[in-house]
Amino acid sequence: MRIAVVGATGMVGQIILKVLAERSFPVTELIPVASSRSVGKTVTFGARDWTIKSLEDAVAAAPDLALFSAGGNTSLEWAPKFAAVGTRVVDNSSAWRMDPTKKLVVPEINADVLTAEDMIIANPNCSTIQLVVALNPLHQAFGAKRVLVSTYQSVTGTGKAAVDQLEGERVGDDVDMVYPYKIDRNCIPHCDIFLDNDYTKEEMKMTQETVKIIGDEGIKLAATAVRVPVQGGHSESVNVEFERPFEIADVKKLLSETDGVTLQDQPEFNTYPMPLMAEGKDDVFVGRLRRDFTTDNALNMWVVSDNLRKGAATNTVQIAEVLLKKGFVKN
């Protein structure tokens, strides 16, 4: 299969290439795409070097599939151009997520919504993905009606410049400021831009995307998104109020049987999810399961995942695998 990776030199693009190789996705020709300053350079994939192309050249090549991780403006302009030449697009940006004509997909939950007519498919926000993978089986069993989430988000979610800021601050270097404040030894309750309702765009992504993916407008969700000086992945403190009663044993059984979830919930042995252990892995890790005694039918849990993998690259490749399995792209 001929595949373009748009944003191939970025943090997520590099991991997309890694995940394609790890999962033995049938790539016969790679068309890496990056900014004009990278055109003509090479990236390594499948034991050989591939020359980086411009967006114009990549569209002209009409690949079977284009995996985008290059920002919203690039996606809005170029994804339709790829689609127009018959290339299916899986896009990592926020550009298409809430477009009612585009599918927003987490394969473990709603792969069935994809049809042959879907030429541009949206990959959800990283924080949303790990949340819904853990929440959906519980919602199906007990009916989630209210969800409160506080996130503890890795600097990798902002990109390489944010990682450079954190690492530079830790050794006392004079660094370019990506965040409005120092991130080392700090927590910044400010992910993405503030909106008119005083929530950030990141927080509202979680509210809106969760409903679209799970397909139930009855789920009410509010989030507080916080950037923390961590690199391994995002963590979330999640409180869920259900319509129906539950037993903790049943919650554990459901999660342990859910594709893409690893249950780590043995507090007596100090076993619980942490970004340090989740880094480089594809699963969503869930633990600290306990009843919320302040109200009826409510649960607290702690959810951790590598935001560059399941939160971005892995989910993108999994969508591509669904397209292949359904015959919407040809091997």
- The residues that are catalytic are 126, 234
Alpha-carbon dihedral 307, 237, 112, 74, rounded to 10 degrees: -40
- Dihedral over Cα of 178, 157, 304, 299: its sign: positive
Q: Give the DSSP letter string of 186-205.
A: --B---S-B-TTSSBHHHHH
DSSP 213: H
10, 160 Cβ separation under 8 angstroms = yes
In terms of DSSP H, where are the helices of 39-118?
55-61, 72-84, 107-110
Burial grade of 96 (CB within 10 A; 0-12, 13-18, 19 or more): buried
Measured in whole angstroms, the distance separating CA 212 from the mean position of its chain's CA atoms is 15
- CA 325 to mean position of chain CA atoms: 21
Q: Let me know how long the chain is.
A: 331
CA–CA separation, 238 and 226 (whole Å)? 14
Cβ atoms of residues 279 and 308 within 8 Å: no
CA distance 36 to 30: 18
Q: Are strands 234-242 and 220-227 parallel, antiparallel or unpaired?
A: unpaired
